[in-house]
Copies of this chain bind each other. A is one copy, B any other.
Amino acid sequence: MPVERVRRRIPEATVARLPVYLRILSEQADEEVENISSEGLAELAGVNAAKVRKDLSYLGSYGTRGVGYEVAFLVYQIRRELGLNHDWAVVIVGAGNLGQALAGYGGFGERGFPVAGVVDIDTTKVGSVIGGVRVRHLDDLAQIVQSRQVSIGVVATPPSAAQDAADRLVRAGVTSILNFAPVVLAVPHGISVRKVDLAVELQILSYYEQRRAGGGGLRSLGSDNSGRGASA
């Protein structure tokens, strides 16, 4: 029987932090830092050291007691764990304001997510070039997904078109969706969806602002940090 490494199940919360550690560790590597302690990494990531250690322990025992973690090695391990050893092509649906900004934002390709295409239903937008990519018609979506092996789709349409965009992405074979439209997408079981909603983020900030201002009731002030943020 082959020795098949059975992958540990990594808690969702940890998965969400690994990319942050990865970015920081990559920066450290660029600055030729060779080792880092959980304490040091925690500081830079804005979390606590025990959390870093527990998070990293899900990858395996890659630290050295008394020393810390070897930066380059950790970078490698996290990248492997996150599936970042190869690129993942993405396709952007919607060439409006946001779609254009996303396509034009170089950071995507650099970080291993090359934009395989941008599509829009509006024929007047088709043909224009944004971020080095020519906008194609929504009907070409399936063809792009298949020929470029796209598995991640980005929904950057107006709310009213978002569900249709998601349906088309799924039909074309995409299995992960990053949704920028303020809409709860219905997708088949087994498709991953993550949502980024700017208005929601602002409204959450509004809540804490208002609370700080004493809006309505009386409460002590203090740390109003809101979860996904950092406040050092």
Contacts and interface: CB of A to CB of B under 8 A. Distances in A.
Interface string A207-218: 111111101111
B194 A22 contact: no
Interface string A176-187: 111100101111
Interface in A181-232: 182, 184-213, 215-219, 221-232
Given A90-B202, A176-B205, A203-B19, A5 B184 contact: no
A21 B6 CA distance: 40
A97 to B, nearest CB: 5
Given A186-B232, A187-B231, A111 B209 contact: no
A90 B202 CA distance: 9
A193 B232 CA distance: 10
A199 to B, nearest CB: 5
A226 B201 CA distance: 18
Copy count, this protein chain: 2
Interface stretch (A28-36, A81-89, A120-128): A81-89
A82 B210 contact: yes
19 contacts: A5-B216, A6-B218, A7-B217, A12-B227, A19-B204, A82-B210, A83-B207, A97-B101, A97-B104, A97-B105, A113-B206, A175-B209, A177-B229, A187-B231, A190-B221, A190-B223, A192-B208, A193-B231, A196-B198
